[in-house]
Amino acid sequence: MPDIAHPWTRFALAVVVALVVAGILRRVVHALLRRLAIRHPMGASIVARANAPMETIVPLAMLLLSCRLAPDEPARLVGALEHALALALIVACTWFVVRCLGAVEAAVSRFNPIDLDDNLRARRVQTQVRVLSRTAMVVTVVLGIGIALMTFPAVRQFGASLLASAGIAGLAVGLAAKPMLGNLIAGMQLALTQPIRIDDVVVIENEWGKIEEITSTYVVVRIWDERRLVVPLQYFIERPFQNWTRTNSQILGSVMLWFDYGLPLEPLRAELQRLCKSAAEWDGRVCVLQVVDASEKAMQLRALVSSSNSSASWDLRCKVREGLIDYVRRECPGYLPRFRGEVESAVRAADAATPPFASRMASSRS
């Protein structure tokens, strides 16, 4: 029979009891979280993602408490055990917070889909939650690493010496962390002011594309030809860019064409109306044909049409351009742009008065 009064025996019993209690607490917590998930759909996502870290947090916490009953000797072994458990608990808690933040982001994205025509509110919510959650993840990981490092006595002494000489050291750390801190602050500004949102259509660096992803340090723009443009967060705070869907996704598109001055405009306007009404991309707001420029050779026409979004606007502009050119070529081919020239009658008369080559030769011989 083992001696219950022996310190190591009591410690072993405490460990067994801690693990049993941890198992009971885990079941109770799971039951409560399942009820929460039934009542609140977002809770299901949190429970699913936080299940793995919860499996480790409760046992580690109970084991750390049981170390209070550990023998005093050998002190180095007991101290190393407590330190290892504390580090594992810090890592598990950091993991748990990060998974919960990711679950909230995923749930918000699922309940606010952006694959709709009127998705302004959904894009606003997704952008705020995504930027804030990923910024919070970075802060959580940094705090977790800092807390874990502070459990080492050498690091604590180093931190105290840094605080004692915070002037130069603080300046050096600030300069070293400037890019990271700048991106974190820029991320907070983007989340609050929202100059860009997920799925916004932007023109940046002379490239047209959509905001595909916003992280804690950069933004991914999906360009129209499937390339990806990666831009730092600070770019959108410090430099100008075009946002075509800032307030809504509706947009006007123009088609520029050159035709002869003699082309009748009313039939062409009627053809433009017919093309727009037959196109699914037209939203019914604007369909106008105007003469916007004139040169010594031809006049320039602008067909202004409206669409619900930029992708539809591009397709509609191509249809209008093709349709108007085909109509003029089919109905009024004489009014397509062309170069004209005039031959003066004096030149023709001079050519007629010049004798042919044979008669000139005969006269020269005589």
Summarised one tens digit per residue, pLDDT across range 191-237 is: 777 888 888 889 998 899 999 888 878 899 999 888 999 998 888 88
Tokens of 125: 């919510």
Tell me, what's the pLDDT at 59? 78
Tokens of 265: 């405009």
Half-sphere exposure of 296 (CA within 13 A, CB side): 3
Q: Is the pLDDT assigned to residue 360 strictly greater than 50?
A: no
262's CB contacts (< 8 A; 6+ apart) are: 334, 335
Q: Is the pLDDT assigned to residue 2 strictly greater than 60?
A: no
Across residues 297-321, what is the average pLDDT? 92
Q: Is the pLDDT assigned to residue 69 strictly greater than 70?
A: no
Select from 354, 280, 282, 311 the least CA-distant residue to 199: 311
Q: Is the pLDDT assigned to residue 282 strictly greater than 60?
A: yes
Mean pLDDT rounded to a whole number for the chain: 77
pLDDT band at 162; cut points 50, 70, 90: very low
Beta strands per DSSP E along the chain: 201-204, 207-214, 218-223, 228-232, 242-243, 251-259, 282-294, 299-307
Tokens of 11: 């410690």
104's CB contacts (< 8 A; 6+ apart) are: 42, 45, 46, 129, 133
Tell me, what's the pLDDT at 8? 58
pTM above 0.75, yes or no: no
Q: Is the pLDDT assigned to residue 15 strictly greater than 60?
A: yes
Q: Is the pLDDT assigned to residue 42 strictly greater than 70?
A: no
Tokens of 259: 């035709």
Q: Is the pLDDT assigned to residue 154 strictly greater than 90?
A: no
Half-sphere exposure of 167 (CA within 13 A, CB side): 1
